[in-house]
Amino acid sequence: MVTDAATGATNAPTVGFLGLGIMGTAMCRNLLKCGAFSKVIVWNRTASKCDELVAEGAVAASSPAEVVQQADITFGMLADPEAALKAALGPAGVAEGVSAGKAYVDMSTVDEATSQQIAAAVAAKGGRFLEAPVSGSKKPAIDGQLIILAAGDEALFKECEAAFSAMGKRSLFLGAVGAGARMKLVVNMVMGSMMGAFCEGMALADRAGLAQSDLLDVLGLGAMANPMFALKGPALQQRQYPPAFPLKHQQKDMRLALALGDALDQPLPVAAAANEAYKQAKSKGYADADFAAVYEATQISNLSLN
């Protein structure tokens, strides 16, 4: 809530949202639906992507700077470090619009250096900054069941309680700027490596004359049972990959996690091997498909194996 300095009245805050892709649209819609904000102002690089949320009550702005100038707290959900930096530091970006009393919460998945660069630019203008990448893909975003991994300004974290409750099932404060970015990369590295191993298992079962549905049943009954295998298994069987989390973004996260490992002299041989499979799937044309399309990296030609 925002307190009017002149009257002492408490008013619902105005929030902004930058980036209306698969995740951002669902997250912003939950901010609109929760009713805790007086206004939700949106921006996207392709302006037409704002239309459906404007029809639901949002207000479109022409630039990130304009959003930040009008909103008390602005959230960003950009595709990658390059997009996050451009929205924050580029022409008419966040840094141009931010001022004392304004806050920016970057929920993009970026490396620590990118997050710290954005934080410094916001602080230089008197604004406040929180990084808050999320664990979860399209369905959890739609359902408001994301896990939010925040770091930076702890007071701002507390002020975001209503927004985070609308977008997620749990929000964690992890410390200084950079901790959230590191945690997200570790989480996505584990997820990507698991998916790579799962795809290899499904491919091996098929090649060995076993029913993939039987493998899914066995995995679902034991200690390896998890929602990701249950959800993605049918997609692998059908070789259909509607994007919930695009493969190109998973591969980007694997790359960033490996770079973090390099910086810390931490061996990551399993993740490195998985990353090569994602790169191979990208080269086959699956960059924009769901990350489960890494299964295609396991497929050999249909030539006879005699």
Which residues does the annotation mark as catalytic?
Answer: 184
247/289 Cα distance (integer angstroms): 6
Token pair 């390896």: residue: 224
301 burial (CB, 10 Å; 0-12 / 13-18 / 19+) is: exposed
158/178 Cα distance (integer angstroms): 18
Nearest to 212 by CA among 225, 229, 228, 226: 229
101/113 Cα distance (integer angstroms): 24
* Residue partners of 7: CB distance under 8 A and separation at least 6: none
Strand partners, 75: 17, 105
Q: Is 101 helix (H, G, I), strand (E, B) or coil?
A: coil
Question: Taking each helix axis from N to C terminus, what angle separates 81-89 and 112-124, rounded to the nearest 10 degrees?
Answer: 10
Strand partners, 119: none
